Amino acid sequence: MAIRSEAVVEMVFPAPELARKAMLALKPEEVSPGGRSSARISVRRKILRLEVEARDTPSLRAALNSLLRLITVVRDMMELEEG
């Protein structure tokens, strides 16, 4: 029996529309080409929620690192847009 790994990450944005923009930017990442992990990305008000499941802990870590790196890029782009 394989042990699945999962994690939930919630991030609060300054405004609901920014959380929604981030969600739309990350939506394509919900489907993992290799099938080792999957993600559900949703927004509720100002909160962006990532739910990640993977076949094992290393796959979970890789998926989380990838998503968090992308969120950093999205945040940086939003800051450039404001500035």
pTM above 0.85, yes or no: no
| pLDDT at residue 20 tops 80 | yes
pLDDT-based confidence at residue 40 (cuts at 50, 70, 90)? very high
3-class DSSP state of 3:
coil
Question: C-alpha 70: how far from its chain's center?
Answer: 8
> What amino acid is encoded at 82 in this protein?
E
Contact (CB, 8 A) for 29 and 70: yes
Top-tier CATH class for 5-82: alpha beta
Percent of the chain's residues with pLDDT above 90: 54
What is the pLDDT, as a whole number, of residue 76?
87
| pLDDT at residue 83 tops 80 | no
Cα separations in angstroms, 74 against 16, 57, 67 = 15, 26, 10
What is the pLDDT, as a whole number, of residue 2?
66
